[in-house]
Amino acid sequence: MKVQDFAYNVAARTLELLEQTQHYKIPEDLRKNVLNQIQTEVNDIIKRS
């Protein structure tokens, strides 16, 4: 698995957990925007780690 795929899966799971545990419905447009942003920033996130 690529690191980019891993980061995407972690972000998607985080959004799912927020919905399940906080009963917060994340609009589909916001979900897509967050996941796309993670994909574009993954290299910078890794560098900061």
User: What per-residue confidence (pLDDT) applies to 43?
Assistant: 87
Question: Which residues does the chain have with pLDDT short of 70?
Answer: 1
User: What per-residue confidence (pLDDT) applies to 1?
Assistant: 67
* Distance from the Cα of residue 6 to its chain's centroid: 10
Report the predicted TM-score, pTM, of the whole model to 2 decimal places. Answer: 0.78
In the chain, where the domains are located: 3-48
pLDDT tens-digit readout, 14-25: 999 999 999 888
- Stated length of the chain: 49
